[in-house]
Amino acid sequence: MDPYKILLDSELNLVRVAVYGDFTQSLGEEIITRARTLASEHSCSILYDVRQATAQVDFSRWFYLPRELEVLRAKPTRNVKVAILVPAEQVDKYKFYETVATNVGLSVNVFLDEEKAIEWLR
């Protein structure tokens, strides 16, 4: 099974990303870059679903990622609105990322509920 899937949902005008199992920083960066590029090309938002995944990323990297990853620094990929569906046991880690990303001007919000995430993206 692939560690992730990226699909364009034309009906909801968003890119759906599902991540499975453990993922590393380099895989996370690959996923973010591919998803943001696709979303930018189609003028839509992104819904990441990491509820079946575990980030194997050093906590300090969560601070630097939105500042250093090229796709998060370049327009128009920078302007993509993002919702992240997370498992309850990892919400603190992702809320930290949400704060860091918001502080550098990215539109990122963390959710436990898919309906609320989709509603926010609209």
Question: What value does the CA radius of gyration of the chain take, rounded to a whole number of Å?
Answer: 13
Cβ–Cβ < 8 Å for 107, 81: yes
Beta-carbon contacts of 49 under 8 Å, excluding residues fewer than 6 positions away, are: 16, 17, 18, 19, 85, 114
Residue whose token pair is 């870059």:
33
Q: Which pLDDT value is given to residue 74? A: 87
Tell me, what's the pLDDT at 54? Answer: 87
pTM recorded for the entire structure: 0.94
**What are the tokens at 59?**
């906590």
Domain topology for 4-121: Transcription Regulator spoIIAA (3.30.750)
Paired strand residues for 9 = 14
What confidence tens digit (pLDDT) does each residue in 108-121 have? Answer: 999 999 999 999 99
Q: What is the mean pLDDT of the chain?
A: 94
